[in-house]
Structures are given as structure tokens and as C-alpha cells.
């Protein structure tokens, strides 16, 4: 991994920071994306200290803003001549319906539409750097997900869990469609379930029953370092060189939900995502 450029979104905490640390320890040039620059810089210094690798950079971007994603992508392309691995790791959960700067329901916006646009804007750089890899952090929650194209923004009766499961299903449909479209380019696209990780991705966004459930489940969670293992494996292992369009858990290829293999749904989601992010 020495001198390979790796971009990790949501890298200032949880599995993102653990992934950044491990890959930096392998000698990679890691670029940490964070919405909060103060927290991001604190995390960057920690990654440098632990990995003893000074090639760890920090860049700011808010995945809840299409304008910010476009600004970030232009700056990234201007600064780096290559991109070997893109890890779309950032994710959020909220049981309160909120909207992004562009008016998207927050979970579909940050968990799917943001990474969708970011990946498309960086795809030429990934092709130029091939063989290269795209890794999308999804979740086993997708097994309960359904793409509701009549209400993809969840305007009707809102369920945080339903919106989250839909967004995580979108991650996998996007991965499979992306792998199909990138066939023959040398760029692979895979996704993964990290496990139920003890992280703060839902902090201050959960209330009532959802917050109680998360507190009760905390003793059964795994630590970020363990949750990062599959992301690290897909980013660095020669065992997955050339493998694309697959879903992994615990560093093993697994079957995803039946709904995730629907080619018509995947293409429809791509077209809708393209239209929404063209704003």
C-alpha cells in the first residue's frame, strides 16, 4: 500500500478513523474527509501518531451538500494526481425526519446521494489510477429495506429505520450497478457490512424507542477496529484484486438480499440518483 492514495469519507471517528489508521500503518497516503475540521484535525493527529506515517491529509466536505461535494471534488483532483482507493464510509442514522441543504431526506441524502455524486465526480481519476478500488460501507440493515420510488424522500409517515434500511439497500444496488458500468476499466466496486459497531453515527439524532434500543444493544456491539477489518481487507488485500460487484461481511463474500440483485431497480435508482444530483 506504500504511496497509494486512499480517500476515506467520515474518517474522523469510528470505523473510518480505524480504517485510516490501519492503512496509514501499511504506508498508504491517506486523505481523511471530515465535515468538522476541528474533530478531523484531532483525528488526523491521532492517526499520524499511531501509524507513524506523516502522509495523512485532511480535507473538509459536507456530504449533505451537493455544492460542497462538487467543490471538494475539484480541489481533490487539483491536489492529487491519482486515487487508488475510494472508501465511502460516512453514514448517519436519525429517527427524526430532517433534510439536507438540497432538500433531500437526510438519510438517503447523506448515505446514498452524497456518495453517489462523489464517486461519479472522482471516477475519471480512479480510472486513470487503475487498478483501483471503490468500497461502499453498507449494512445488514439492507435486508429490511425496500426502494420506495413513489416516496423515496420519505415524505409520508416517517420511520427512521425504514429510511435507513432503504438507504443501505441503495448502497448495495449502487455498488452492483457501478461494477457493471465499470467492467473492463480496471476499477472494481464492492460493498460490505461492518457489523454492529460501537460508534457515534446516531448520536444526537435518535430519541425515544430508537435511542433506548441503541443503549440496550451497546453491550453487544463491536469496537471500531473490528468493524473496520472488512474495509481494510477490501482496500488492501491482493485476494480481492479484480473482484467486483460483491457484498462482504467479516472479510468473506456473502449473499445480499434478494431485492439487491434486481437489475431493473438498480438501473432505475441510478437514473433517479443522477437526476437528483444534477441540481
Distance CA 185, CA 94 (A): 37
Known active-site residue 80: no
Element (H, E) at 85: strand 85-88
Catalytic residue among 80, 93, 106, 164: 164
Q: Omega into 2 within 30° of 0, i.e. cis?
A: no
How far, rounded to the nearest angstrom, does the alpha carbon of residue 193 sit from its chain's CA centroid?
11
Report the sign of the C-alpha dihedral through residues 133, 83, 125, 58, in that order.
positive
Nearest partner of 65 among 56, 57, 54, 73, judged by Cα: 73
Residue 42: strand, helix, or coil: helix
How many CB atoms neighbour CB 143 within 10 A? 15
Angle at 153 (CA atoms; ends 149, 158), nearest 5 degrees: 110
What are the residue numbers of the active site?
A: 164
Amino acid at each position: 500500500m506504500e504511496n497509494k492514495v486512499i480517500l476515506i469519507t467520515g474518517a474522523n471517528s469510528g470505523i473510518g478513523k480505524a480504517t485510516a489508521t490501519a492503512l496509514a500503518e501499511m504506508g498508504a497516503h491517506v486523505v481523511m474527509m471530515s465535515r468538522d475540521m476541528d474533530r478531523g484535525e484531532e483525528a488526523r493527529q491521532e492517526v499520524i501518531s499511531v501509524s507513524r506515517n506523516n502522509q495523512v491529509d485532511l480535507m473538509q466536505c459536507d456530504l449533505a451538500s451537493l455544492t460542497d461535494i462538487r467543490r471538494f471534488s475539484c480541489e481533490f483532483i487539483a491536489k492529487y494526481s491519482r486515487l487508488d482507493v475510494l472508501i465511502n464510509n460516512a453514514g448517519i442514522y436519525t429517527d427524526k425526519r430532517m433534510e439536507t441543504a438540497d432538500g433531500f431526506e437526510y438519510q438517503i441524502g447523506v448515505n446514498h446521494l452524497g456518495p453517489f455524486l462523489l464517486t461519479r465526480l472522482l471516477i475519471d481519476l480512479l480510472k486513470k489510477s487503475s487498478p483501483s478500488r471503490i468500497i461502499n460501507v453498507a449494512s445488514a440493515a439492507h435486508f429490511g429495506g425496500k426502494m420506495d420510488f413513489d416516496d423515496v424522500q420519505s415524505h409520508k409517515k416517517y420511520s427512521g429505520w425504514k429510511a435507513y434500511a432503504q438507504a443501505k439497500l441503495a448502497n448495495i444496488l449502487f455498488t452492483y450497478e457501478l461494477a457493471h458500468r465499470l467492467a473492463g476499466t480496471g476499477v472494481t466496486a464492492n460493498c460490505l457490512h461492518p457489523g454492529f459497531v460501537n460508534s457515534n453515527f446516531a448520536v444526537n439524532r435518535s430519541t425515544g424507542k430508537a435511542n433506548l434500543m441503541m443503549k440496550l444493544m451497546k453491550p453487544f456491539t463491536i469496537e471500531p477496529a473490528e468493524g473496520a477489518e472488512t474495509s481494510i481487507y477490501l482496500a488492501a488485500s491482493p485476494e480481492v484484486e479484480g473482484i467486483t460487484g460483491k457484498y462482504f461481511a467479516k472479510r468473506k463474500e456473502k449473499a445480499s438480499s434478494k431485492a439487491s440483485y434486481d437489475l431493473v431497480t438498480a438501473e432505475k435508482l441510478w437514473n433517479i440518483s443522477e437526476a437528483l444530483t444534477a441540481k
